[in-house]
């Protein structure tokens, strides 16, 4: 019983890791205050769910989810060349609202607020992942692969250019870097992994409604990125695991479920606030928050 509970939290933590490290790529490494990350996640989740319900195999669904999310990542990059800092945050947040509204209202495709039910669990190479323990293994492998690829990007000279854009975009341009292309790549790669995370979430939860694109759901992930430390993937992973487990004891205190949700938000906000006051670089971060 407890083991099943633990496994289900670990699955959510692994999905959270993918979502958080990909968010770290744009926010922490490239300096793009991207508040539209959950839109890519939702695009991935819905793409994957619809394809899975239509009977397509797992690998096809998850890759298409990633690629379509990446396409929207590129698309949102077109205007961000002209938009900087806080305004970029507003623009990406706007994108998030648009995606949420589309998912809610395009009922022919998404079934609107009723959501998509009965998403089948994946099968791959004859393995059945309907057992949570098997599914955890699958998610863990994909989370590890995502982490390693993003790590590879950030430690390569390409990642160095991304960091130079975060520190001083004009200086990067003056050194001859096409910063527009770079930011587009960062958004695209980040959106790809958000889409993959969305796909895994849809497979895991087997039911999807537009609330997965709700901007409020982004707050824990922004908190993870900041608490882990901007520019630190290791910190992000640790923070993702800690923050997934942190509100869990609330379940056992005996609060009604309506309070648990709100209490969780409060805990994240409180934790974030404490970090910003006492450890502004996060636990492992190298980058000063401006």
Partner 1 sequence: MINLEIKKLNKHFGGVKAVDDCSFEIEKGSITALIGPNGAGKSTVFNLISGIIEADSGNIVFSDRDIVGLSPDKISNLGFSRIFQASSLFDNLTVENNLFLAFDNEDTKFWKNLLGFNKATKIKKEKVKEMLDLVDMEKFRKNPAGDLSFGQKRLIELIRAIINPHSILMLDEPVAGVSPRLREKISKILLKLKEEGETILLIEHDMDFTLNMADKVIVMEKGIVIAEGSPEHIKNNRKVLEAYLGE
Task: Report the alpha-carbon angle 77-65-36, nearest 5.
Answer: 40
Q: Which two tokens stand for residue 115?
A: 């959501």
Element spanning 15, H or E? helix 2-24
State the minimum distance, in angstroms, from the CB of residue 244 to partner 1. Answer: 28
If one asks whether residue 78 binds partner 1 (CB under 8 A), the answer comes out as no
State the minimum distance, in angstroms, from the CB of residue 17 to partner 1. Answer: 20
Q: Which is nearer to partner 1, 122 or 229 (CB)?
A: 229
How far is 181 from 162, CA to CA, in rounded Å? 10
Residue 215 in contact with residue 38, Cβ under 8 Å? yes
If one asks whether residue 178 binds partner 1 (CB under 8 A), the answer comes out as yes
State the minimum distance, in angstroms, from the CB of residue 253 to partner 1. Answer: 41
Among 27, 139, 153, 222, binds partner 1 (CB under 8 A): 153
Scanning 4-12, 52-60, 115-123, 153-161 for contacts with partner 1 by CB under 8 A, the matching segment is 153-161
If one asks whether residue 182 binds partner 1 (CB under 8 A), the answer comes out as yes
Among 63, 115, 173, 263, binds partner 1 (CB under 8 A): 173
How far is 202 from 10, CA to CA, in rounded Å? 16
Neighbours of 174 (CB within 10 A): 9
State the minimum distance, in angstroms, from the CB of residue 182 to partner 1. Answer: 6
If one asks whether residue 181 binds partner 1 (CB under 8 A), the answer comes out as yes
* Burial class of 112 by CB neighbour count within 10 A (0 to 12, 13 to 18, 19+): middle
Q: How far is CA 15 from CA 12, 41, 194, 198, in A?
A: 5, 11, 9, 8
State the minimum distance, in angstroms, from the CB of residue 193 to partner 1. Answer: 14
Would you tell me which residues interact with partner 1 (CB under 8 A)? 149, 152-153, 156-161, 163-164, 166-168, 170-179, 181-182, 185, 189, 231, 286-288
């Amino acid at each position: 019983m407890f083991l099943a509970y633990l496994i289900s939290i670990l699955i959510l933590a692994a999905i959270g890791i993918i979502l958080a490290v990909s968010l770290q790529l744009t926010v922490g490494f490239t300096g793009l205050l991207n508040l539209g990350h959950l839109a890519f996640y939702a695009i991935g989740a819905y793409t994957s769910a619809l394809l899975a319900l239509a009977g397509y195999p797992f690998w096809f669904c998850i890759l298409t989810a990633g690629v379509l999310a990446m396409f929207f990542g590129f698309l949102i990059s077109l205007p961000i060349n002209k938009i900087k800092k806080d305004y970029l945050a507003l623009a990406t947040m706007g994108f998030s609202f648009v995606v949420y509204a589309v998912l809610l209202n395009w009922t022919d495709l998404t079934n609107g607020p009723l959501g998509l039910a009965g998403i089948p669990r994946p099968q791959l190479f004859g393995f059945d992942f309907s057992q949570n323990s098997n599914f955890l293994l699958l998610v863990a492998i994909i989370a590890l692969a995502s982490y390693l690829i993003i790590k590879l990007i950030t430690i390569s000279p390409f990642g160095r250019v991304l960091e130079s854009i975060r520190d001083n975009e004009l200086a990067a341009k003056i050194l001859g870097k096409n910063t527009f292309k770079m930011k587009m790549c960062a958004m695209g790669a980040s959106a790809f992994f958000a889409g993959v995370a969305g796909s895994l979430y849809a497979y895991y939860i087997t039911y999807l409604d537009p609330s997965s694109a709700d901007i409020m759901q982004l707050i824990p992930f922004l908190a993870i990125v900041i608490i882990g430390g901007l520019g630190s993937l290791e910190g992000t992973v640790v923070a993702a695991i800690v923050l997934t487990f942190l509100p869990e004891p609330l379940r056992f205190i005996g609060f009604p479920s309506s309070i648990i949700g709100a209490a969780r938000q409060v805990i994240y906000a409180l934790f974030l606030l404490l970090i910003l006051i006492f450890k502004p670089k996060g636990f492992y971060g190298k980058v000063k928050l401006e």
